[in-house]
């Protein structure tokens, strides 16, 4: 009902947040929208001594353009992403996946930065950030640093961020001329994904020039389906070529067996969903 006791701080600038976090050390937790963290605290899976609420830092909210990138503030809420014109134009994959996150109530509080920092492999946005080659801007005691999504997710619920660091923004390359699609399989609407697949495809003439494919919940972190990407690069934009490439979607993955699904079934889903996601992203009739 009520998590274990902790102190609560609500800084108004990133610098202040970093200072508070640095002083508190490993016992501090960052509170973004709280939609993942508060359940964790309530189940006593974490017992921080200090919660640092980023909700008072105005600079962390909003989407802007910077050259050929979108810069999305870490505290931008899912609901804001869904109605943002820049996201709709340059990163529709993000909007599509965000629309499948939990339910409307949760999307009104949950933030993109919170989802990524929580690093739940069953979350939808970590794999999307991989597929989009997003780069995380992280603030810490020594200033800001950039970490690509491919290096950001380290392990189950673990990122490359150190104690004292805060995710400030997600930088997403503008992907004009790419087709994208997110496939999410869950047994009940609004539940976590058993498996999800984020795909981005750039076509040239009758071929697939490049593809990015990332998997939700096929291991302890979101994973790039690199074998699929390699097989697709330069392949014909045909249903057969996609099916053949998708057959290797589960290569290098280590899905879990749990109350929701077996590892074998997740492997099966990854292949089917990859085929469907790539076909949809590439505008190719998969039937």
- Which residues of the chain form contacts with other proteins (CB under 8 A)? 1-8, 10, 31, 34-35, 38-39, 41-43, 51, 53, 55, 79, 96, 99-100, 102-106, 108-109, 181-194, 259-262, 264-265, 268-269, 272-273, 276, 280, 286-287
Question: Closer to other proteins at the Cβ: 41 or 223?
Answer: 41
As to burial, measured by CB atoms within 10 angstroms (0-12 exposed, 13-18 middle, 19+ buried), residue 282 is: buried
Pairwise CA distance, residues 27 & 195, whole Å: 32
* 239, 284 contact by CB (below 8 A): yes
Nearest-approach distance from CB 8 to other proteins, in angstroms: 4
Question: Closer to other proteins at the Cβ: 68 or 264?
Answer: 264
CA angle 250, 126, 200 (to 5 degrees): 65
Nearest-approach distance from CB 279 to other proteins, in angstroms: 9
Pairing of strands 207-216, 223-224: antiparallel
Nearest-approach distance from CB 212 to other proteins, in angstroms: 18
The answer for residues whose C-beta is within 8 angstroms of residue 165's C-beta and 6 or more apart is 18, 21, 138, 139, 140
Pairwise CA distance, residues 275 & 244, whole Å: 9
Question: Closer to other proteins at the Cβ: 5 or 85?
Answer: 5
Question: Closer to other proteins at the Cβ: 124 or 165?
Answer: 124
Pairwise CA distance, residues 265 & 272, whole Å: 11
Question: Closer to other proteins at the Cβ: 113 or 136?
Answer: 113
Count CB-CB contacts under 10 A for residue 287: 5
What is the residue whose two structure tokens read 């990122």?
Answer: 159
Pairwise CA distance, residues 210 & 139, whole Å: 32
Nearest-approach distance from CB 28 to other proteins, in angstroms: 13
Residue count of the chain, please give it: 287
Question: Closer to other proteins at the Cβ: 114 or 137?
Answer: 114
Nearest-approach distance from CB 191 to other proteins, in angstroms: 7
Question: Closer to other proteins at the Cβ: 43 or 176?
Answer: 43
Nearest-approach distance from CB 113 to other proteins, in angstroms: 15
Nearest-approach distance from CB 143 to other proteins, in angstroms: 28
Question: Closer to other proteins at the Cβ: 31 or 237?
Answer: 31
Q: What are phi and psi of 220, to 5 degrees?
A: -80, -15
Pairwise CA distance, residues 226 & 252, whole Å: 9
Percentages helix, strand, coil for the chain (3-state, rounded to 5) are 35, 25, 35
As to burial, measured by CB atoms within 10 angstroms (0-12 exposed, 13-18 middle, 19+ buried), residue 43 is: exposed
């Amino acid at each position: 009902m009520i998590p274990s006791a902790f102190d609560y701080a609500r800084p108004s600038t990133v610098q202040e947040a970093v200072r508070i976090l640095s002083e508190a050390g490993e016992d501090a937790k960052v509170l973004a929208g709280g939609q993942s963290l508060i359940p964790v605290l309530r189940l006593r899976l974490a017992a921080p001594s200090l919660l640092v609420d980023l909700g008072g830092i105005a600079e962390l909210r909003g989407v802007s353009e910077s050259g050929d990138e979108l810069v999305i503030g870490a505290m931008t809420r899912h609901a804001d992403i869904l109605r943002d014109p820049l996201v709709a134009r340059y990163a529709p994959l993000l909007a599509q996946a965000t629309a499948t996150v939990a339910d409307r109530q949760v999307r009104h509080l949950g933030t993109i930065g919170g989802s990524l920092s929580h690093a739940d492999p069953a979350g939808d946005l970590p794999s999307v950030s991989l597929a989009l080659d997003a780069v995380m801007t992280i603030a810490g005691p020594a200033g800001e640093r950039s970490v690509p999504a491919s290096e950001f997710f380290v392990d189950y619920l673990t990122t490359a961020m150190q104690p004292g660091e805060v995710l400030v923004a997600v930088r997403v390359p503008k992907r004009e001329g790419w087709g994208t699609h997110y496939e999410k399989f869950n047994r009940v609407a609004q539940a976590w994904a058993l498996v999800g697949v984020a795909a981005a495809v750039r076509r040239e003439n009758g071929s697939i020039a490049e593809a990015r494919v990332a998997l939700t919940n096929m291991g302890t972190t979101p994973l790039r389906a690199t074998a699929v990407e390699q097989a697709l690069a330069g392949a014909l934009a045909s249903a057969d070529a996609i099916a053949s490439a998708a057959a290797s979607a589960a290569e290098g993955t280590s899905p879990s067996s749990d109350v929701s699904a077996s590892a074998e079934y997740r492997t099966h889903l990854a292949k089917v969903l990859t085929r469907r996601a790539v076909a949809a992203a590439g505008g190719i009739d998969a039937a």
